[in-house]
Amino acid sequence: MMLSEEVEEPAPPSKGVARRTEKMVGAAPQPVRSAPKAIPPPARRDAEKRVRRGKLDIGGSLDLHGHTQDSGRNALMRFLRVAQLRGDSVVIVITGMGRGGEGVLKRRLPEWLAEPALRPMITGYAPAHRSHGGASAFYVFIKRARETQS
């Protein structure tokens, strides 16, 4: 003898409840994060060509090998400020290749150069020639320091 069991299925939610739930779930807008503007390559490509050919002196170089992202960013800021005060127009920043050819410091350098603290002193950057470090180094072009008038 078979007993038949009646199973009550839950009633589907009313349309009004479903709509409110969908609105509530989708209502929280995601914050829009905009990446800092990347610094364009030098407006005057002749400066880049002169550096590559050895016609424009490189004021100094900074090697970021062994730095973390935070220490590398801080070292870059200090280095560029000093280079500007010395009157350097171009410096080399060596980031290294990283594992697999795409290092974190190499990726972050354009972001750091676009930050408000550094952006006013930079005119641009470009990948370095093979003789200056190639793909793991960049030329950074620096604006002249403005003298305060008394």
What confidence score (pLDDT) does residue 149 get? Answer: 37
- Terminal CA-to-CA distance of the chain, rounded, Å? 108
What confidence score (pLDDT) does residue 2 get? Answer: 54
**90, 98, 37, 36: which is closest to 64 by C-alpha?**
98
Within a 10 A sphere around the Cβ of 123, how many other Cβ atoms? Answer: 18
Q: Render pLDDT for 114-141 as a digit per residue (tens, 0 to 9).
A: 999 988 899 888 888 777 777 788 999 9
DSSP letter string, 13-47: PPHHHHHHHHHHHHHSPPPPP-PPPPPPSPS-HHH
Mean pLDDT by 10 residues, the chain (150 residues): 57 56 53 58 66 77 91 95 92 83 85 90 86 82 67
Backbone angles phi, psi at 63, to 5 degrees: -105, 115
What confidence score (pLDDT) does residue 70 get? Answer: 93
CA atoms within 13 A on the CB side of 36: 15
Domains of the chain: 45-142 (3.30.1370.110)
- Contacting residues for 129 by C-beta, under 8 A, at least 6 apart: 51, 52
What confidence score (pLDDT) does residue 4 get? Answer: 54
**74, 112, 76, 111: which is closest to 92 by C-alpha?**
76
Q: Is 36 left (phi over 0), alpha (psi -120 to 50) or beta?
A: beta
For 104, the token pair is: 């974190």
Query: What's the CA dihedral at 98, 102, 107, 108 to 10 degrees?
Result: -30
Beta-bridged to residue 138, according to DSSP, are 93, 127
For 57, the token pair is: 């002196």
